[in-house]
Structure 1
Amino acid sequence: MGQSQSAEPPKEVPIEQLSHELALRFAGKCYTHLEVAHYKDNFKTLADHQEDVEYWKEDTLCRFLALPEPLKAGPVLYQMCTYLGAFPFPTLAPCILTREAMLKVITIMTGRYRKVLRRGDQDKVKLLFRSLAVFDRRASMPPSKEKPNMEDLVNEQLPDDMLKEREVEKGLSSHVSGFAIDEPLNDDEDEDDDDLALAALDALDAIEVFKHDYKTDRKINHAMIPVENLKKLIMLLLLIAGIEPLTTLGIYGESLNEDGRLQALSASADAVISAFDPDPNTHGIRYSNFVKTITTTLPDLFEPFSALFEHFLFSKNINLSKHRGEPLSSGTETIHAKPSPIYKSPEDTTFSTILSPTLLSQLSTSLKISTSPTSSSPPLKTIFTSNARFNQLYSTASHGTSLSSFSRQIFSWTSSTLVLINGIHDNQPILLGAYLPEQWREKPHPLTSDSPAKYSSLFQLAPRHAFFPANTYNRNIPYSYFNNKTGIALGCMIPPATSRTGPPPPPVPGAVSILIDGDMETVTFTHDGAAGSGAFVTDPNLELAQQHNPSTTQPKKLTFDLDTLEVWGISSPAGGDAEDGEDEITKQKKRLKWEEDEAARRRGVNFGGDKDGARALLEMAGLVGDKHGNRSGGSV
């Protein structure tokens, strides 16, 4: 831009015009012409009209996205959209969801804005907080005999043309009703300038507008996200985890009819909410807690929104074959949801008492896994994008509480594993686990900088969600350790043996560690940042809560009785096991069958064809599981 043009004060350009230009920039840079055509068709087909205003109402948005009514997440999502649609000008929010406003919402939710605004995801987190944040006017305003009209307060901030649009119909107001606390605002008490908004204004060569518009809406007290609103949104995100751009949306609402699914979503959402440490008095979540928790503990919490809003870019009304004489493009065909990653063998008579689709969805908010465990730098993907399959290898419910049974089922698995442990502590369910990308070994390999083990992690899913990634500087403490005398240790220090004939010394809990004793009866979970460096890193949010609220937060070290232990083998259809036509679970079964036959042969057992008697003996020895699903009687 020349000097004569840049000398003109940018503030004289109406922000409505700049908002329009940004929408055009998004449309031209972030989408193909075909995607824009699909979007326009979807929007126009369902839009309401008042004079020259074409817009979407809340029920239109909910109907298009097939949001399940029992979750009651529609008003919360609509509130977010009416804020994001005004980007990057908060004084225009809440806005009417016109075609341009909705396009900006889609661009932000899908992350496509990066093609124009090259900023990090943390800036998007700030924007999402503002879209959810509200403030209690009753707490922020002095007592008054006459309560001000809320809509008047909103309208005072809107330009004239927006006011005219609002007046075309009484029901056209974008103000989100039905909330206990009023409307979205910007709480930036501990925040720097919004880099994403600055990037948008910079792209429009209107950076000075920031001083005249954006900063007028900063430093507002009492801004927070109400827990009840965020919980509804989290339940929706957990329900649609793993969604794809072409997945039929209605099937997610149908899954709520499954026994206990709604209750499971509520329980998982409560655990996730706890990670934000809501204010016990206001029942709200402040900006600093929100950003810190999303960036450290729950980095993929909002990931399902990307595929959900991609649905706007596929219209069933546009048939490419009409124009090209070819079969209908697969880009316009809806698909059903993928089969559950939790694999259940048809011959299984027992099944998981811990792992469920909801818990897997909750885990996907934090955990990324490797699909190439033998590689020193494997690609890390989310649970659902990796196409991984979870195969149950061991469960105390079906294989018993014998360490010999555990070792037999686990050590023959050559890929990564997922460990789940539950019990009761202080009359409250507790659920812990670990992701281990390397094969279990009795003697762990030396740790190196290029070992896949550096992607190991511990996690807690109840009563509070917490995540503990591997300490990449760790070179001394094994991430996993097994001994048939001392038990199972995750992140524990292993003292050197003092005698060749005597019992080995027990593992020493690390700063973040899980220890299951040799009798498989007791679990000790340690999370103590003051204990120094360990195999796993502390969760900063849990550590802070332990320091500031020790009376209401779980202790740094807790011990509870083991209820159920499960180990799941992780396999990938795209892995190397497909080369010979057999997947990892088939190979696992063959290895176990060979070991069972070999064990019988070595013992010289001859039952004259009495297979039932042979199996009964092996069950008592702890070499095979009880075919009836009871715990085996093997002992260490």
Structure 2
Amino acid sequence: MGQSQSSEPAKEVPIEDLSHELALRFASKCYTYLEIAHYKDNFKTLADHQEDVEYWKEDTLCRFLALPEPLHAGPVLYHMCTYLGAFPFPSLAPCILTREATLKVITIMTGRYKKILRRGDQDKVKLLFRSLAVFDRRASISSPREKPNMDEIIKEQLPDDMLKEREIDTATSAHATASGFAVDEPANDDEDEDDDDLALAALDSLDAIEVFRHDQKTDRKIHHAIVPAENLKKLVMLLLLIAEIEPLTPVGVYGQSLTQERLQALSVSADAVVAAFDPDPQSNGVRYSNFVKTVTTTTPCLFEPFSPLFEHFLFSKNINLNKHRGQPDPVVAVEPRRSPIYRSAGDGDGDDGDTIFNDTLLSQISMSLRLFTPSGSLADIFTSGARFNQLYSTSSHGTSLSSFSRQVLSWQSGTLMLVSGSHPDTANNLITLAAYLPERWHDPSSGPRNAAPSRDPSAPKACLIQLQPRQATFPENSYNRSIPVSYFSTKTGIALGCVIPQQSRTHTVQQAPALGSVSLLIDTDLTTATFQHDGDAGSGAFVTDPGLETAQTHNGQAAQPKKITFDIDSLEVWGINFPTDEGEDEVTKQKKRLAWEEAEAARRRGVNFGGDQEGARALLEMAGLVGDKAGNRSGGSV
């Protein structure tokens, strides 16, 4: 009998059952029992009912997440969820957001799937593209606001052979469908895996995404699908707005402060981000290859705000373990994280209205950049605890390199430099660049600083980012050994990624730096800058952006020029500070250094030379305290 049973062919498991098993695995392995309790309470409180099925509509999702209505991002996000809820079977999408489907959406959006699924981000990028894409046969999707019918949607998506099997085995299929909230069922964590169940074994790792091959039609269609640029812009505007969100911060607080000026700033930044995806001019859509290339190289942190946003599902207002029986619920006001942008402690108080650095621009930078923390690890800008303190700006300190030297070179840690200007050859006449320099600026009086061959490979890496007219990211070239990332001289200006000529002792005229493959050169009066992005120029201190390089090669006149000389409207340098409880932070040290320099300059001015002003100045020049030999020291005036 045992032999006859073993010789029977294995019964194929319906994909609905496999989807149900994956939801159970996520619930038991990726969450605590308390988190599941919070999630179930949130879902059941707002769920609609149709027969035996509990589900969420688009309005319910938007209301729970408090998505700002002016952004119009709710339908786009809901469309994503109806696809991700069918994971890992695209043939079941779009699905109804039942309790199981929504749990899978949360698991994917928060990245908790990594606890049991081996593979990671690139497969998630493919998932996100599918969830945003519009296929030819579904170019017009009916509004999810209408009462959905699960059987009709699944029958529409199933292949013919699976549809016939479904009609034959109606009872089994109906049972699998009706168990939409089977997350409530307990899972046996100690149960051994069934080695014969190849499907469940595949679902135990992100190799499970290979299950997409069950639906080969969908795999072929991915190369003919597009993400509408308009939908992508709405989603990017939402991500820019909530870039600094925390799991307990309600999204509604961002919507309350959404002024017309902020909406315009979000729209401008979103246009630059979407331009990095190179939408097709005819269909106005983003193809799969461009989507993957941009997300993995130009904007690697684009979708990270989704994680804290969907963590909101795991906190229910109805469950409070600190509440005593019979007492009213305590009112807890959760405010958004305070902006990390501050004025320098040495500049005093004042209006920051004239600065180009604002929360929207910082959110745009955070999509391309991670900071190096004092612990030596990479972290998101908002979670790293970094503060940005204004050291220098042309609007506040003038266009003098001496002022730049005094304010910036005394800062002993990393900086963020912003340059904004206008150029007639760019799409919108605006060009904005940001440079993240994790190491302090070099003192020009000690001579040129070259890249050290023995530099630690794990040392912090600089990064140059273009924010307008399109987003582009240029990380530091780890293989560079000759071209300095940053260089400053009162005789030649500010150079990022430029080749510094060897200076001859016999010539008093200092040669200007030469542009590198990716470089920025600012002249001595801080009024004109030249930016170059030319992959044909060889390697340099920064790596070229693949998307921008492709656009420059294939888009002809519509592309951004490889070399742009523009007039500087504003130049700012912001010191990056990580406040700690131990000792003085860099802001306090900077304030003391500047105060000491002011006192030293006052002391020098008070020296009595018997009225001989010319002799006094000659003596100070011989001492190297004033004049060209003074370097970056501030000796005052005589």
Q: Report the TM-score when normalising by structure 1.
A: 0.81
**In the TM superposition, what is the alpha-carbon distance from 1:341 to its structure 2 partner?**
0.5
Match of 1:525 among 525, 531, 539: 531
Q: 1:382 — aligned with what?
A: 380
Structure 1 CA distance for aligned equivalents of residues 206 and 344 of structure 2: 60
Q: For residues 177-576 of structure 1, what are the structure 2 equivalents within 5 Å? A: 201-203=202-204, 210=211, 213-220=214-221, 222-257=224-259, 260-321=261-322, 335-344=334-343, 347-351=348-352, 352-372=354-374, 378-426=376-424, 428-441=429-442, 442=444, 443=447, 444=449, 446-447=451-452, 448-450=454-456, 454-499=460-505, 502-574=508-580
Gaps of 5+ in 2: 141-150, 179-197, 609-625, 627-635
* Residues 1:313 and 1:8: Cα distance change in structure 2 (over 3 Å): farther
Per-residue Cα deviation, 1:395-429 (whole angstroms, up to 9, x for no partner): 00010000000000001101100000010011611
**In the TM superposition, what is the alpha-carbon distance from 1:12 to its structure 2 partner?**
2.1
**In the TM superposition, what is the alpha-carbon distance from 1:110 to its structure 2 partner?**
0.4
* Residues 1:280 and 1:164: Cα distance change in structure 2 (over 3 Å): farther
Q: 2:582 — aligned with what?
A: 579
Mean CA deviation greater in 266-275 or 13-22: 13-22
Q: Does structure 2 retain, via aligned residues, the 8 Å contact 1:129–1:287?
A: yes
Structure 2 CA distance for aligned equivalents of residues 81 and 518 of structure 1: 53
Structure 1 CA distance for aligned equivalents of residues 6 and 71 of structure 2: 50
Q: Does structure 2 retain, via aligned residues, the 8 Å contact 1:18–1:204?
A: no
* Residues 1:212 and 1:398: Cα distance change in structure 2 (over 3 Å): closer
Paired AA for residue 219 in structure 1: R
* Residues 1:12 and 1:423: Cα distance change in structure 2 (over 3 Å): same
Q: Does structure 2 retain, via aligned residues, the 8 Å contact 1:433–1:459?
A: yes
Q: Name the % identity.
A: 66
Per-residue Cα deviation, 1:455-497 (whole angstroms, up to 9, x for no partner): 1011100010000000011111111100001000001110111
Q: Does structure 1 retain, via aligned residues, the 8 Å contact 2:451–2:483?
A: no
Structure 2 CA distance for aligned equivalents of residues 5 and 71 of structure 1: 60
Structure 2 CA distance for aligned equivalents of residues 335 and 5 of structure 1: 61
Structure 1 CA distance for aligned equivalents of residues 340 and 79 of structure 2: 33
Paired AA for residue 544 in structure 2: T
Q: Does structure 2 retain, via aligned residues, the 8 Å contact 1:528–1:557?
A: yes
Q: Does structure 2 retain, via aligned residues, the 8 Å contact 1:432–1:459?
A: yes
Residue 85 (str. 1) matches residue 85 (str. 2): yes
**In the TM superposition, what is the alpha-carbon distance from 1:585 to its structure 2 partner?**
1.6
Structure 2 CA distance for aligned equivalents of residues 75 and 4 of structure 1: 54
Moved over 4 A (4+): 2-11, 137-140, 151-155, 158-165, 197-200, 204-209, 322-329, 451-454
Mean CA deviation greater in 19-28 or 595-604: 595-604
* Residues 1:200 and 1:226: Cα distance change in structure 2 (over 3 Å): farther
Structure 1 CA distance for aligned equivalents of residues 589 and 551 of structure 2: 45
Paired AA for residue 337 in structure 2: K
**In the TM superposition, what is the alpha-carbon distance from 1:27 to its structure 2 partner?**
0.2
Structure 1 CA distance for aligned equivalents of residues 282 and 509 of structure 2: 53
Q: Does structure 2 retain, via aligned residues, the 8 Å contact 1:438–1:453?
A: no
Q: 1:128 — aligned with what?
A: 128
Paired AA for residue 597 in structure 1: A
**In the TM superposition, what is the alpha-carbon distance from 1:348 to its structure 2 partner?**
2.4
Q: Does structure 2 retain, via aligned residues, the 8 Å contact 1:227–1:273?
A: yes
Residue 29 (str. 1) matches residue 29 (str. 2): yes
**In the TM superposition, what is the alpha-carbon distance from 1:452 to its structure 2 partner?**
7.2
Q: Report the TM-score when normalising by structure 2.
A: 0.81
Paired AA for residue 410 in structure 1: V
* Residues 1:473 and 1:132: Cα distance change in structure 2 (over 3 Å): same
Paired AA for residue 522 in structure 2: I
**What secondary structure, in the 3-state scheme, does the structure 1 residue paired with 2:258 have?**
helix
Name the larger-Rg structure: 2
Paired AA for residue 22 in structure 1: L
Paired AA for residue 554 in structure 1: Q
* Residues 1:107 and 1:479: Cα distance change in structure 2 (over 3 Å): same
* Residues 1:209 and 1:234: Cα distance change in structure 2 (over 3 Å): closer
Structure 2 CA distance for aligned equivalents of residues 202 and 104 of structure 1: 13
Paired AA for residue 246 in structure 1: L
* Residues 1:345 and 1:393: Cα distance change in structure 2 (over 3 Å): closer
Per-residue Cα deviation, 1:133-187 (whole angstroms, up to 9, x for no partner): 00344999xxxxxxxxxx989853256689999x99xxxxxxxxxxxxxxxxxxx
**In the TM superposition, what is the alpha-carbon distance from 1:521 to its structure 2 partner?**
1.7
**In the TM superposition, what is the alpha-carbon distance from 1:319 to its structure 2 partner?**
1.7
* Residues 1:164 and 1:229: Cα distance change in structure 2 (over 3 Å): farther
* Residues 1:499 and 1:127: Cα distance change in structure 2 (over 3 Å): same
**What secondary structure, in the 3-state scheme, does the structure 2 residue paired with 1:485 have?**
coil
**What secondary structure, in the 3-state scheme, does the structure 1 residue paired with 2:551 have?**
helix
Paired AA for residue 395 in structure 2: A
* Residues 1:9 and 1:260: Cα distance change in structure 2 (over 3 Å): farther
Per-residue Cα deviation, 1:302-350 (whole angstroms, up to 9, x for no partner): 0000000011001111121369999999xx9673211100013694235
Paired AA for residue 528 in structure 1: D
* Residues 1:461 and 1:436: Cα distance change in structure 2 (over 3 Å): same
* Residues 1:339 and 1:54: Cα distance change in structure 2 (over 3 Å): same
Q: Does structure 1 retain, via aligned residues, the 8 Å contact 2:414–2:575?
A: yes
Structure 1 CA distance for aligned equivalents of residues 591 and 237 of structure 2: 37
Paired AA for residue 15 in structure 2: I
Structure 1 CA distance for aligned equivalents of residues 397 and 273 of structure 2: 31
Aligned-residue Cα RMSD (Å) equals 3.4
Structure 1 CA distance for aligned equivalents of residues 42 and 270 of structure 2: 32
Q: Does structure 1 retain, via aligned residues, the 8 Å contact 2:117–2:206?
A: no
**What secondary structure, in the 3-state scheme, does the structure 1 residue paired with 2:542 have?**
coil
Structure 2 CA distance for aligned equivalents of residues 12 and 294 of structure 1: 37
**What secondary structure, in the 3-state scheme, does the structure 2 residue paired with 1:433 have?**
strand
* Residues 1:13 and 1:107: Cα distance change in structure 2 (over 3 Å): same
Q: How many matched pairs?
A: 558
**In the TM superposition, what is the alpha-carbon distance from 1:210 to its structure 2 partner?**
3.8
Q: Does structure 1 retain, via aligned residues, the 8 Å contact 2:90–2:212?
A: no
* Residues 1:289 and 1:597: Cα distance change in structure 2 (over 3 Å): same
Mean CA deviation greater in 349-358 or 83-92: 349-358
Paired AA for residue 393 in structure 2: S
Q: 1:57 — aligned with what?
A: 57
Per-residue Cα deviation, 1:83-125 (whole angstroms, up to 9, x for no partner): 0000011111000000000000000000011112111210000
**In the TM superposition, what is the alpha-carbon distance from 1:503 to its structure 2 partner?**
1.9
Structure 2 CA distance for aligned equivalents of residues 484 and 473 of structure 1: 29
Gaps of 5+ in 1: 141-150, 169-196, 607-622, 624-633
* Residues 1:391 and 1:322: Cα distance change in structure 2 (over 3 Å): closer
Per-residue Cα deviation, 1:590-621 (whole angstroms, up to 9, x for no partner): 21122122123223379xxxxxxxxxxxxxxx
**In the TM superposition, what is the alpha-carbon distance from 1:206 to its structure 2 partner?**
12
